[in-house]
Structure formats: structure tokens, C-alpha cells
Amino acid sequence: MSTAHIGFLGLGSMGAPMARNLLDSGLAVTVYNRTRSVAEAFGSAGASASIAETPAGAVVEGGIAITMLANDAALEDVTLGPDGILQQLGKGGLHISMSTVSPETSKKLAALHAERGSLFLSAPVFGRPEAAAAKKLWICQSGSNAAKQRAKAILDILGQGIHDFGEDPGAANVVKLSGNFMILAAIETMAEAQALAEKNGIDRTMLANFFGQTIFSCPIYQNYGRTLAERAFEPAGFKLELGMKDVRLVRDVAEASMVPMPLADLLHARLLTSLAKKRGKQDWTAIELVTAEDAALR
């Protein structure tokens, strides 16, 4: 099927480089952002995209819509609102949802799209803004085979690999939430280890480098270990307030599935304390500051 026209909705720190990569690949892209000035800044930076006034204005009947939005409420608003994309996409349209949202939201939207003859694909991603810009995202997907086939050419532009998790439209979201939980758990582990080292006169950066080059030689421990050691929490690659949103979703899915997750409860407390201390706009690695304060290092 043709990928001639794409509507890209959401030009945040992840969405903007993704939309730019689609444009650079020669695709016709119309963008929409709730704050129009963000869309205008995107265009003034050399992007040749058209700017839509409404979500519906970003898509054409039978076309493709890609959403990269902050939360479930924003996704439902641009999809189901008075000027949403659901009606405009119509028969033969495809909605690729790349946001980190609850599996129940994806199931709901998939059913509503099916009623109107359009397709829905969950395709959340792993990777920070620099990975999005470099087309190095890891993409999880779930949904119908028809949706996957049509989306493939686009997803190949945006990421370095696509991993399939079946036809349940909520499955990819469970994988994404599981991964974000594991990343934040690793951040907490590194924060505690670095506090222990610092309290005993060991350089934090040396500790992070040693483990990142030896028994924990992987991007999460290397990149986040360095960020934690340097306390480089601004500018945020992933805002702490969004991390709280994800942990809330993890706990909701865990409760619905009757899966105790005591570590998720601890992470929720770390994030809540951080938000109370007005750190919501910092990177989510800033939960380390709570650990440092508990250890009297700050």
C-alpha cells in the first residue's frame, strides 16, 4: 500500500526527530502539535512539512497517521476528539500509535478503528531523542498482520529493528512498560551503588566506568551510569514526570493481572518524592538525588 501521505501528531523531544527522518526520506508529511508554536519552530528549522490546525487536518482519508504523544489522555484526544483523526482516516486508513500508553487504551482504539474500516498498530519504541534522530530506535509492535505489512516501510525508516509481539494490540504496550520498569530499576540500582561507593571514598565515575566496561557492559548501564555519576539531569532526555506516568501504568497493569511488583512500589515512592521536590522537568535519573539525600551526600 502507498505511504504517500503521513500525518505525524506530536512533536516533542522524540516526535520531532522522527518526523524529520520521514521527511528526509522523501515522504509527504503533515504535522500537528497541540502547541502550534512548536510546529512552527519545527518548520522554521528547515523541515518541509505542512502544518495542520487540527489533528484531523493532519491526515487524509485512507492515509497514515502516526501518534507520538505524552500519555493516554493526549492520544485519546487527538484520536477521538471533535477534530480527531478517527473519522478522517476512514476506510483503508492506518493509525500507528508509538506512544507509551496502557494496553487497554490500545485495545479500545483498535476496536474503534476496526468499526470504521481502518487499521491500528501499537508500535512503542525504546531509545532516547538522540537514538530517534539517528534512526536507532528499537520498535515493538502488535496488531493485525495487515497493519504490520503497511507500516513496515515507515518503521524501517525510524528504527534499527522491529520486534513483533502478536496480534493483541495491547501486547506491545505491556512490553514497553516492562522495559521502562526495568530501566528505572537499573537506575535505582546504580544510584544506590554509587552512593555506597561515594560514602566510602570511591569516585562515582570510576565505579560507573568499571561496571559499564565489565560485568554490566550494555548501553543501559553505560549511558545511564555516566549520567548518574555526573548528575547530568538537565536537559532531560526523558522527563521524570513522564517516568511517573509510566510507573503508574505498570502498577495498574500489575494490579489488573494480579502480579505483585514490590520494586515498582519503591520506584513509585522515589518518583513521588522527586515530584514533591519539584524535579518533574529533570531527567528521570534525578531520582538519584533522593538516594543521595537519604545517604547524607547532599
Catalytic residues: 176
Beta strand pairing status for 119-122 and 137-143? antiparallel
User: Which of 248, 233, 237 is CA-nearest to residue 71?
Assistant: 248
Q: What is the DSSP secondary-structure string of 156-193?
A: HHHEEEEEE--S-TTHHHHHHHHHHHHHHHHHHHHHHH
Instruction: Tell me the three state secondary structure of residue 214.
Output: coil
In contact, 188 and 287? CB cutoff 8 Å: yes
Decide if 171 contacts 103 (C-beta within 8 A).
yes
Q: Which helix (H) or strand (E) holds 7?
A: strand 5-9
SS3 annotation, 75-96: HHHHHHCCCCHHHHHCCCCEEE
Please give the Cα distance from 280 to 274 (Å, whole number): 7
Angle made by CA atoms 121, 122, 128, in degrees to the nearest 5: 130
